[in-house]
Amino acid sequence: MKTLHKKAISAAAVALLSGLSTATFAADEPAAEVEVSPITANVTVVNDYRYRGISQSNFKPAIQGGFDYAHESGFYIGNWNSSISWISDAYGQNGSVGGKGSAGAAVSAPIEMDFYAGFKKELIGEGFASDIGFLQYYYPTTGIPNTNGATANPNTSELYVAQNFTFGPLTGFAKVSYSVSTLFGTVNSTGSYYPDLTMNYDTGVWGLALNGHVGYQYVAGNTVNNATSYALNAYGNGTSNSSLYSYTDWKLGLTKDFGGGLSAAIAYIGTNAATAKGGYSYSSPTGKNLGKSTGLISLTKTF
């Protein structure tokens, strides 16, 4: 593309020197096609990392980023990462698991790494892309003690299927995720699922779009250990009924596109995660509700 651009400039200069019309030269010069890279990258800063409505960073800011490769056939693969604190907090002195690692060192688990691959194609019609894929959540950890089966490995594997839709300025998708492993450290939780619906409405004014989301996290399993489980990216509160870990989450927001791959978003998010025995199903080491309603602010740059 750059080579074609330089040739066009040189041709115009020659035309001026020879008294020819640059307009005629421009008409004869073939337009250079814009090359679209199959690889994109993104980086985000947010005041609180919320996943399915639950705080993963104990209400603190997080930095996130990743990249995607999309082939014209519909195949794609990617990686996304975020700073977190929920695992190390769970094993801290005030965490529900309690104490430090087996070697006496503090548990370290500062990052979430997501790896995914799938196939996305407009099988129904233009603007209606169908999507099926696999997602692996991986948490590099050190110092986690043996809990004798009271907790599971936090690494989680999910299959998902989604249907995207476009109706003029309204876009979105309906999606179902299904865990083929235990879910985020919760024992006996294989087979958990998460259906959700996300919609975006382009207002056509100042690059603003309205955003809406609702989802339901069902956590499978009959019982969990009443002292040490820290189900679903959270810290637990000593409940013994796993049904208390299932909940609905929602979000309403506004996105501003500044152009050049830069956007900002504000949102109000919350859940109906249950309370039990005077505590919360998803609570921080200090007893705060990790699924409480709150405002989010984020800034994203896409390359």
What are the helix (H) ranges across 19-91?
22-28, 86-90
Q: Is 53 left (phi over 0), alpha (psi -120 to 50) or beta?
A: left
- Domain containing 11 equals 1-35
What whole-number percentage of the chain has pLDDT above 90? 61
- Residue closest to 300 by CA, chosen among 268, 267, 255: 255
Confidence (pLDDT) at 256 = 98
Check whether 284 has a pLDDT greater than 80. Answer: yes
- pLDDT tier for residue 24 given thresholds of 50, 70 and 90: very low
Within this chain, do residues 210 and 227 fall inside the same structural domain, yes or no? yes
pLDDT at 208 over 70: yes
Residue 106's pLDDT is 75
Residue 30: the pLDDT is 54
Q: Please count the structural domains in the chain.
A: 2
- Both 22 and 129 in a single domain? no
> What is the chain's mean pLDDT, rounded?
82
> Are 13 and 159 part of one and the same domain?
no
Compute the distance between CA of residue 49 and CA of residue 47 in angstroms, rounded to an integer: 7
- Decide which of 282 and 215 is more confident: 215
274 and 256 belong to one structural domain? yes
Is the pLDDT at 210 greater than 70? The verdict is yes
Per-residue pLDDT, averaged over 214-229, amounts to: 67
CB atoms within 10 A of CB 62: 21
Domain identity same for 20 and 141: no
Please report, to the nearest 10 degrees, the dihedral formed by the alpha carbons of residues 291, 294, 299, 303 taken in order: 30
**203 and 154 co-located in one domain:** yes
Q: Which residues contact 97 (CB under 8 A, 6 or more apart)?
A: 90, 91, 145, 147, 151, 228, 230
Burial class (CB in 10 A: 0-12, 13-18, 19+), 86: buried
Residues 24 and 129 in one domain: no
Nearest partner of 183 among 211, 213, 152, 205, judged by Cα: 152
60 and 19 share one domain: no
pLDDT tens digits for range 183-198: 998 888 999 999 999 9
- 152 and 255 in a single domain? The answer is yes
DSSP 8-state symbol, 231: T
CA–centroid distance for 30 within its chain: 42
pLDDT of residue 277: 54
pLDDT digits (tens, 9 = 90+) for 228-277: 344 444 444 434 444 678 999 999 999 999 999 999 999 999 999 876 55
The CATH number of the domain where 116 resides is what? 2.40.160.40
Looking at residue 20, what is its pLDDT? Answer: 33
If one compares 233 and 100, the residue with the highest pLDDT of the two is: 100
| pTM for this prediction | 0.81
